[in-house]
Structure formats: structure tokens, C-alpha cells
Structure 1
Amino acid sequence: MSDTDLLARRFEEQRPRLRAVAHRMLGSAAEADDAVQDTWLRLSRVDAETIENLPGWLTTTVGRVCLDRLRSAAARHEESVDVAGDGPSADVPGERDPEQEALLTESVGRALDVVLTSLGPTERLVFVLHDMFAVSFDEIAPVVERTPEAVRQIASRARRRVRNGPTVPETDPVRQRGVVEAFLAASREGRFDDLVTLLDPHVVLRPDAVVVRNGATGELHGSSAVARFFSGRAQAAVPAFVDGAPGAVVVVDGQLRFALSFVVADRILAVEAIADPALLAALDVVVATGSGADER
């Protein structure tokens, strides 16, 4: 058997797992197959003998391929996946028997896919690779061009979004932006009742440590409490996509100083307020077209 045939055989052994990673990332069986094929093409262009851990290399490479696709879609402000139109995802073989795997896919697979669409591209990649496929933060860090500690923070944020996402998030970026723009306008103008209307009754605001040090009171729950916090604020904030999710940012002299990241359904389900420079540096920010600020 030639070296090329042996490499192809080893790749085929990994294909089901790679397809499972790609499907969780992209939400589409067809796009997952394309991403796996792109991964094979990348493998065929490198010297396989220099790869010490082929399964690990393939996992991070297919993750990078998916991340590029998601970032491209987010930059165009397009919906990157169509969850409702796809069939069941392919899962990684594990300790459960086939009947248990089928039950798992039937009961939670679709729900998880919907929740994953609420994550930004980087968050989704980190969550999928680390929490679902046990890839270490050290291995993920070069894929997303972050430090391992920043990747750990991203994973924690993604985990909270998944854990607190019982309502189906809105995936149309135009509608997301409309909700965010209405929220920012109500905030700037101090329209408390409008803020309450735009917020889910069980909304959660999670400020980071720097925001708390600057005067926030810690995590807030409920539309009234969160509306009081934002009423009269957001004077310099402009709409943006923060790690692919709907958000808003404050940019001063070309430097990102503050970011808000939202989970949006019909109303706003959760808000993260970020001012820590290290966390801000870990964000992918695309300022919404027409907002008058620069893209970061």
C-alpha cells in the first residue's frame, strides 16, 4: 500500500468524527461534508510525516475550516445555517449503544443545534471542540489565535449561553440588529418602559469584574432591574456583531473600550457587559454597517 493510500485510509477512519465536529459547527450536513473535504485537501498538501498526532491535527483543522466559513457568513451579515432544514447529525461513537445514541439525537440533538446557532463563530468552535470533543485549550488557542486563558474565558461564556438558552434564539441578523438598535435608543433616551418591553421578564445581565468595579452591582435578573441599569446609558454605543452574536460596542480613539453581547429571541434574553481589556482583546467585533464606527 502506498503512503498516499495509507494516509487516505487513516483519514477515512477519522471521517465520522470530523463530520460530527463540522455538523455541530455549521448545522448543515452538506456544509459539513464540504468542510471535511476541505480538510482532506489541506492534509494532502502537507507532509503527513511531520504530524505527530493526526487525529488532533484533523480535529483542529476541520475546526479552523468551519470557523473561516462562519466568520465569512457573519461578516456578510447573513444567516450561516438552516437548522430546521437539516437531518439528524452524525455523532461520535462512544460508550452508549446505538439505541441510546438514536434516542439522544432524537431528544436533544435538534435543541442543541438551535442553541449553538446563538453562539458566535469563535464561541461555537471553542465550545464544540472543548466541551463536546475534549480538545484542550492549548490545542484550540492557535486555531482561534488566542491565548489558552482567553480560550478558557470564551468557553465559559459559551457554556453559560448554552446553559441559559431555553428559548429559541433569533437567527435573522436583520431582526437581531433591529432589537439591539431599539434597545440602544431606549437606553440613551431613558425610556424605561420601552426597555422593559424589549427585555424578556427573566433576562439576565452578566457584567465582568471591570464593569462591576466601575459601578455595576453584579449579576442582575429580571426586566425591571436590567432596564434600570441601562436607562440613560449607552450614549456612545453603536450596534455590532460580537463574536458573531448581536451586540454593541464603544470605541474611543480606535480602541475597543466596552462591549455588550446579547442573546435575542423576540426579546432580549441575556446581556453580557464586557470591559476587561483582556476579554475585549479576545472578541471578534464587526461594527454594523452604517453605524459610523470602524470595524475591528
Structure 2
Amino acid sequence: MTTTADEFENHRPRLFGLAYRMLGSAQEAEDAVQDAYLRFSSTERASITHPGAWLAKVVTNLCLSRLTSARARREVYVGEWLPEPVLTSDGTLGPLESAEQRESVSLAMLVLLERLTPTERAVFVLREAFGYGHREIAEALELTEANCRQLYRRAVRRVGEPGSRFEAEPERRRKLVESFIAAAREGDVTTLEKTLAADVTWTGDGGGKVSAARRPIEGRDRVSRFLVGTRQTFLAGVEFSAVEINGDTGMAAWSGDTLLSVVAFEVREGVIVHARAVLNPEKLDFVRRQLARA
């Protein structure tokens, strides 16, 4: 006999993927999914005709409530704010078989989604990442279908057409990142610069917890000097490895058993155009646990 817990577990991965895209935080997504379970387990089963749709509606609305307070916290965040990275090679965020699916969970996209109002974000995520029709979205958000269409069009204008920023050659991107890691490990400035676009940007998120650049660093020369200087000053004995982060090849930096940073790379036309480095230890807890199990 299928228990309530068993039934919920069948939906958990999809619900976590939804909450993570909505919130940009793995830990908050876990909390939202757990709250949804508590509501599910305390609701008369006969009143839930379609559990998947019911749970998606609950999670979406729980996330909408969280987004308001989350944005208030981000306004006083120390330095640049980045989403929490998630290891995706273990299927945590579901199948990522296309460039569009990978882009939907990239740090680049999650940063862009911060431009949207909470409701615009919900409409965009449900439509693009989960294939909901406008009628289904309207039912989930208790809006009119016409309003949902308008919100979706507005969201697309703000973040761009889906699939427009993600190169479709994963093997090429992986080799590029591996070249970057090798050059960073050796302090090879010449090779390092070859992996970077002329207008590359490096964004670090230390959250005031650890040392990190408070503002984005722009330009190939400045980024190269920053990376080499950081290696010489802070990274003696640090190990770098390639990992699949948010749907693409990224980099993890370790000092012994301590995860120091995870870097996600945005690649375009064969070079790195933006690197987003998460150093805030509080934001690395989820991915650290994932990597420990890998």
C-alpha cells in the first residue's frame, strides 16, 4: 500500500526543481518542499484529485511568499549576491538534456530572474521550465489566463528569449573550463587569458563571511591579474576540480576537506564571458553535501 510519504517522494525532485528556480536558494527550496509535505500529509486525500498539480500550486505559492522577504534581505546583502550553486550531475534538478533545460537552471539565468516580480518569475518558470500552459498557470496562481499571458510576455522582454545565451556544445565548454582550471592551477597567465573574452566579468559572492571582491571585476587583463594574485596570496595548496554545476561544467576549489568556492562559467563563442564564484560558506553547504555523496 502506498503511503502518503511514498506518494510525496515521487513528486519531490520535480517540486525541488520548481522551488529552486523560484528562489535561487537550495536551502530555502528544501524548506518550501518540506512545508508542502506537511500540508499534503495533513490534507484529506480524497480532496486532492491531481496530487502533482496540487503540490506544484502549493510550492509555487509558498515560494511567492518567501520571495518578498528574500528580496528584502538581498537589499542589505554584503557585496554581490549570487544564487546557491547546485550539483546537477546527480539529477537533483531533473533531466537537463537540452540547451534550454540547462539554461533554465544556470546561475546566469537565475540572476536574470531577479529582475522579475515574484509573480512574473512564477509564470516564467512554470511556462519555460515545466511546460505549463497558460490556463494551468492561471489556475495555479489564481489569475486570469489573459493576465498570465501578459506577465509571461513582460518576463521574456526582461530576461530575453529562452535558449538565447547557452551554447549547445557541452564538450567544447568542458574542454574550455578544463583549460582554465589547468592555467589557474599553474598560474599560466598566457593560457588563462586565451580562455577569457576581452570583456569578461568575474563576480564573487562572499556575503561578508569570507574575503571576496565586493564589485564585479571586468576585462581580461584585470581578471587575469586578480586570479593570479589570488592564487599567489590565498590559494597555496588549494585543489581545483571540474564539476557539473547548474547544468554545465564548473569548478570547485578545495582546501583539504573544506569546499572554498564553486565557480559557474558563462561561455559564448568559445570563451568565458562571465565567471560567477560563490564563496559564502552558507551558500556552499548544499553542494558540499552533494559532492560528499558523489
TM-score using structure 1 length:
0.46
TM-score using structure 2 length:
0.47
- Larger RCO: 1 or 2 (CA < 8 Å, sep 6+): 2
